Amino acid sequence: MQPSVSSSPAGSARSGRPVAAPAQRGLLTERIARQLEHDIRSGEIAVGTKLPSERELAAQFGSSRNVVREVLRRLEAQHLIEVAPGRGSFVREQSSGQARGYDALYRAGRPTVRQLIEARIPLEVEMVRLATERATDEDIAAMRSARDALESATDVVVKAQADMDFHDAVAVASKNPVLRIMLSSISGMMFEMMLRSNSDPSIGEPGVPHHPEIFEAVEARDVDLACERMREHLLLGLRTYGPDLDVQVDTMARNHIETLLGQSEGRQGGGRTGE
């Protein structure tokens, strides 16, 4: 039995259009992975179902097989599918803990971007306070590495991952595993916000502290300044997200990925398929 993947904008067939140039692969991976994960977790694709072949999925989503392979690797790492060599990929049975993990619980509540920002402020301000007091040399090096990766990245997906890595490095440096787990539980939604933030020119609002300024305060062991800069950094979203602020995170991410893909395809002018 072949699953029928939802025909929402996130999963619509685009097989007649050449896509997946290097700048698009990461966005396509995000779009397809989000759609398949949703379909599996919701039960739309039943446990035990064999997914279409790489070639079929590539045609269904209008992507390259390389993109599909990356999506399948991600789903396998999330224990959503089992890949049987020579047989294909099958949807795994989910334990109650896996199926109703924190991310799924949060998304069931349909949180908006505003609500996610409001939750991040007290969590991450406290994390950076503790990190400034407790960070080891290794922690400082990890933050510096993530900061440098973010500053040098040009691809939006790479930027978003480096952004996430920086905030996770702060969580590790706090030396409080509960805070890190709390951050990890919303990391999926944070990553989706970061795709939006790192492709928005208005995020560079003058005078607003970003990762280099936060890192500088942590490295200087200036607790008050680090907290102030993290708070201002997170509050920026309340001023720059505009109409997206009160949109569900899922909807905002899906629409923004589609917008970025459209812009990328426009710049490519119908370039070659990235196989």
* pLDDT, tens digit, 9 for 90 and up, residues 50-77: 999 999 999 998 888 888 988 898 888 7
Q: Give the model's pLDDT for residue 1.
A: 43
Among the listed residues 165, 161, 166, 241, the one whose alpha carbon sits nearest the alpha carbon of residue 195: 161
Contact yes or no for 257/10 (Cβ under 8 A): yes
* 111-249 and 22-99 share a CATH fold: no
Contacts of 81 (CB under 8 A, 6+ apart): 40, 51, 72, 75, 89, 90, 91, 92
Contact yes or no for 257/31 (Cβ under 8 A): yes
Tokens of 209: 């502290």
Alpha-carbon distances, residue 196 vs 132, 232, 234, 244 (angstroms): 28, 18, 14, 10
Residue with tokens 């995170």: 249
Query: How large is the average pLDDT for residues 244-252?
Result: 90
- Residue ranges per domain, the chain? 22-99, 111-249
Amino acid at position 118, single letter:
E
Look over the chain and give the mean of its residue pLDDT values, rounded to a whole number.
82
Among the listed residues 185, 186, 199, the one whose alpha carbon sits nearest the alpha carbon of residue 157: 199
Q: Give the model's pLDDT for residue 266.
A: 64
Q: Is residue 197 over pLDDT 70? A: yes
Task: Give residue 131's pLDDT band: very low, low, confident or very high (50, 70, 90).
Answer: very high
Q: Is residue 168 over pLDDT 60? A: yes
Q: What is the DSSP string of 239-251?
A: HH-GGGGGSBHHH
Helices (H) and strands (E) in the chain, counts: 13, 2
Amino acid at position 229, single letter:
R
Among the listed residues 94, 98, 106, 69, the one whose alpha carbon sits nearest the alpha carbon of residue 187: 106
Collapsing DSSP states into helix, strand and coil, what is residue 81?
A: strand
Task: Give residue 233's pLDDT band: very low, low, confident or very high (50, 70, 90).
Answer: very high
| The domain defined by 22-99 carries CATH number 3.40.50.300 | no
Helix axes 211-219, 113-134, angle to 10 degrees: 30
Query: How large is the average pLDDT for residues 214-218?
Result: 98
**Fold adopted by 111-249:** Four Helix Bundle (Hemerythrin (Met), subunit A) (1.20.120)
Query: How large is the average pLDDT for residues 111-116?
Result: 95
Q: How many percent of the chain have pLDDT more than 90?
A: 39
Contact yes or no for 33/74 (Cβ under 8 A): yes
124 compared with 239, residue with greater pLDDT: 124
Task: Give residue 185's pLDDT band: very low, low, confident or very high (50, 70, 90).
Answer: confident
- The angle at the Cα of 187, spanning 126 to 141, to the nearest 5 degrees, equals 65
Q: Is residue 188 over pLDDT 90? A: no
Tokens of 208: 């607003």
Measured CA to CA, the distance from residue 103 to residue 57 in angstroms comes to 26
